[in-house]
Amino acid sequence: MLKVTTKDPLHYDGHLLVYFAQKKGDKKLICNAKEVEKALRQPMKAGDFIGEKGQTFLFYPQQCAKGEGGVFKAKRVLVVGLGEFEGDVASCREEFRLAAGTAVTTARSLQARDALTVLPGFLKFSALGVAECVAEGLILGNYRFSKYKKENGSNENGKPLTKLTIHAGGFTNTQVEKGVALGRASALAGCAARDMANEPGNGWTPQRFADFGKKIAHNSDLKCRVLEKSDMKKLGMGGLISVNQGSALPPKLVILEYISGKKNPTLMFVGKGLTFDSGGISLKPSPGMEEMKYDMCGGAAVISAMQIVAKEKPGDVNVVALIPATDNMSGSAATRPGDIITHYNGVTSEVVNTDAEGRLILADALSYGVEKYSPDIVIDLATLTGAVIFGLGHHRTGLLSNNDELVTRIMDAGDDAGEPLWRLPLGPEYTKQLKSEVADLKNIGGKPAGTITAAAYLEHFIGKTPWAHLDIAGTAWNFTEKSYIPKGPSGIGVRTIANLIRNWYPLKKTSKG
């Protein structure tokens, strides 16, 4: 789908040739090709294109004189502005993604079938980083979910391009190849997570999570185990069993293991795989309930990230992923408000609200995973609370943790991926809100600080392991509008996890939050 070429862009005769232009003051633009710079002189004088971020200029070489851009064989040439291109590394990486996303969405609107993108090799920036981010922007921006649509007519967004190609543009080809490989792997995994989320509740079931896990483990160094309902009962996973009681479909706990060496650190990721959430007996309001098919985005992110691990085979870390999967329905055997359950680690919980189900299934997966794998760190991702949207909107993921250094690592990884996070506090004052008169805990702490009390619940199931909770309810869908992020599910979390794994080194021993 995305390849690197060394062919001279002047000889490219495809549908769309893409260049990037850097703004230098008010009177100058820098681009890879002098022919493009010449073609931009008049538009710049007229104020039609000044190279601002996201600004585009399109011309048709066949209509230009040779000295004004007519030397190109491509049917169209698109120039995307980068602005002054200033800021920290993470900001610059995001600008490359946005510019690439703008290029590919413009190509789709033009009904182009292929495009060649020339990297801005004139910039003093890592060739690997530029190639990685442009590759991500192109693939993620080209995404479209049309499995259930009958393609018989025009589409306002245009069909995805069938062929995307990158030219080094003056950068070192070997570094560009490496960067494109990284970006391609991350972006395709992000698209896989989007596909899962876009599937309806009757399309993506717990069994589909199990099937996907087995698929990526097949012919790879990953091992896939699936715990069935009978296994959960034997193990005492009362949270998963409780949430599943009203469903016609059995639950699954999908476990993927990648072990590179016994002495290597083990990173554990847990993703909420709630394939549809009706709220159970504490029924959700009807308006907007169709969006509850997205309640499995945490599980989608975690299992899709393992697709990257299977491909890249990191040699210095072990990676374990657990996806507790079920739906939450109100059948005749459904858990009732006031029922008491016992989690895997023996902690009892009074289920005050059956719509606070995510923490119940995560609690079993967390306590089981921590006991079995003794991970060096554990991170869970979940569309857990609507409260996080009130606090952070759809722009940042909520982050809560017991370890300061882990927080810094995650936030850096998120910034580099264009998936920003914001840390919220934890403390005994919030845990008090979960006090039950009849059990060890109750599963909600009231409306105040709802995101924090949900994390405080999970904190009872990780022991002393460095742990972080990512509440992606506000970012898993309807994420900040970007050129490479479509409406609907964003695939959030996949590239943050990938960055963490790729750059992991041991935590310091004293960094408790």
Please check whether residue 296 is in contact with residue 194, taking contact to mean a CB–CB distance below 8 angstroms: no
- 467, HSE (Cβ side, Cα atoms, 13 Å): 23
Give every CB contact of residue 76 below 8 A, 6+ residues apart in sequence: 15, 16, 17, 58, 59, 60, 61, 110, 112
The CA-atom distances, in angstroms, between 469 and each of 128, 451, 501 are: 30, 10, 17
Nearest to 213 by CA among 198, 227, 199, 226: 226
- Which amino acids are annotated catalytic? 284, 359
Please check whether residue 205 is in contact with residue 44, taking contact to mean a CB–CB distance below 8 angstroms: no
Nearest to 386 by CA among 353, 419, 408, 435: 353
Tokens linked to 48: 């039609």
The CA-atom distances, in angstroms, between 323 and each of 120, 153, 165, 265, 298 are: 40, 39, 35, 20, 9
Residue type, 468: A
Tokens linked to 224: 């896939």
Nearest to 166 by CA among 225, 223, 217, 118: 118
Nearest to 57 by CA among 74, 39, 75: 39
